Amino acid sequence: MHEMSLVRSLIRQVDLIAAENGGGSVREVSVEIGPLSGVESELVQSAFDQVIAESHESPMTLTIRETPLVVHCLQCEDDCEIDNFIFRCLRCGSGHVRVIRGDEFRIASITLDERVTHA
Amino acid sequence: MPERTIVINRDIQSERRAAAEHRRQEFTRQKTFVVNLVSSPGAGKTTLLEATCRYWKDRWKIAVLVGDLATQRDADRLRPFVPVQQLTTGGACHLELSLVEKGLAKLPQEHFDFLFIENVGNLVCPASHDLAEHLRVVLLSTTEGDDKPGKYPKMFRTSEVMVITKMDLLPHVPFDVDRATVDSHLIRDSMEVITVCSLHDEGIHNWCQMLERRREQLFSEVDVPCST
Ligand SMILES: Nc1nc2c(ncn2[C@@H]2O[C@H](COP(=O)(O)OP(=O)(O)OP(=O)(O)O)[C@@H](O)[C@H]2O)c(=O)[nH]1
Ligand SMILES: [Mg+2]
Ligand SMILES: [Zn+2]
């Protein structure tokens, strides 16, 4: 189970991005997780909740979007979505395919609480 | 409170991947062919490395890094043959590049033709960690069942070679080599399949030839001068 270490890395990166963008506390993190990412969404969610509850100053929430597995066929140049881990082009049947989506664990966006300076 | 959403679109592993790619290029420059061996616990990684060392003797300069949760046992088995460092993860289920670097620093600082990294026995987590290897090899032993490739798609998808081990046990277990091969080809069309019995040094010739062929391919590619 390596979700915990990846989630710690995720939170470090989010804090860094927030700091680079002028600070403010992070309200929400949106991530995308593909079927070939090597992580399980539910385990990521519970690891995230645990780390935030235990150690993080601001109570940020995590939104996970599960992305499809998409391959590009090097034979017929078509892209298709596969859902059974059978790496074959759905159009021509070739196994000469490259994964173009679905192996990611990606930070899509973060939402910051804007610090407002009142005059 | 007003809020602001910033679009990022960055993989959380992107920095690690870049570091691994950089390291791989360094290995390539040094002409060290790096092989990452993955499998479930006990599939026969260390035994295959023992047979490999026996087969090659002094033909190539070899070094081994071997990962386990605890103990020096695997390193002790390989030490009679080659320079070896045990990497103990202290509970972690996979090796990471930082551990590999630490192990490398403790090996004799000389040129190696082959560096074998024996990963922690686990068909899940090691799939997600690039150790800067040139070749990932997955071992599947005949006692594990021929249905495993489809059940662990990421591990088999990210491996280029599948070695079916413990072929001597075939008469005793319901394992169909063809079925395992077909299953692996659904996951990775180009999977090269090799069968061995490391205990009795069978199939080791094919295994070693495959390694030599791939090493040669890689380095002759590297040697080709850039056309202007
Ligand atoms: N019958 C038979 N047994 C084998 C063969 N190869 C390995 N074994 C046995 O399988 C057991 C595990 O082998 P190892 O080489 O230690 O496996 P491993 O993958 O290195 O194990 P971990 O490092 O613990 O994950 C040992 O008892 C070996 O003797 C083989 O070709 N035939
Ligand atoms: Mg071992
Ligand atoms: Zn096609």
Burial class (CB in 10 A: 0-12, 13-18, 19+), B88: middle
From B39, B46, B76, the mutation candidate for ligand 1 (largest count of ligand atoms within 8 A of CB) is B46
What's the pLDDT at A119?
A: 46
Of A80-94, A102-116, B57-71, B165-179, the poorest mean pLDDT is in: A102-116
Side chain identity at B179, as an amino acid letter?
R
A104: Cα within 13 Å, side-chain hemisphere: 20
**Residue A101 at interface with chain B, using a CB cutoff of 8 Å:** no
CA B142 – CA B222 distance, rounded (Å): 37
Could you state, in order of their start, the residue ranges of all structural domains in chain B? 20-219
CB atoms within 10 A of CB A32: 20
Residue ranges near ligand 3 (ion) with Cβ within 5 Å: A 73, 75-76, 78, 89, 91-92, 94
Query: pTM surpassing 0.80?
Result: yes
B84-88 and B62-68: which strand pairing?
parallel
In single-letter form, the type of residue at position B197 comes to C
DSSP symbol at B4: E
Which tokens go with A80?
């298709």
Q: Is the pLDDT of residue A116 over 90?
A: no
Q: What is the pLDDT along chain B (228 residues), one digit of tens a residue?
A: 788 999 999 999 999 999 999 999 999 999 999 999 999 999 999 999 999 999 999 999 999 999 999 999 999 999 999 999 999 988 888 999 999 999 999 999 999 999 999 999 999 999 999 999 999 999 999 999 999 999 999 999 999 999 999 999 999 999 999 999 999 999 999 999 999 999 999 999 999 999 999 999 999 977 655 554
CATH 3.40.50.300 applies to domain B20-219: yes
Shortest-distance ligand to the CA of residue B39: 1
Q: Where are the beta strands (DSSP E) in B76-183?
A: 84-88, 114-118, 135-141, 161-165
Contacts of A88 in chain B (CB under 8 A): 186, 189
B94 interface with A at CB cutoff 8 Å: yes
pLDDT at A1: 62
ipTM over 0.85: yes
Instruction: Report CB contact under 8 Å: B186, A110.
Output: no
Q: Is the CB of B170 under 6 A from ligand 1?
A: no
Which pair of tokens denotes residue B49?
A: 């490395």
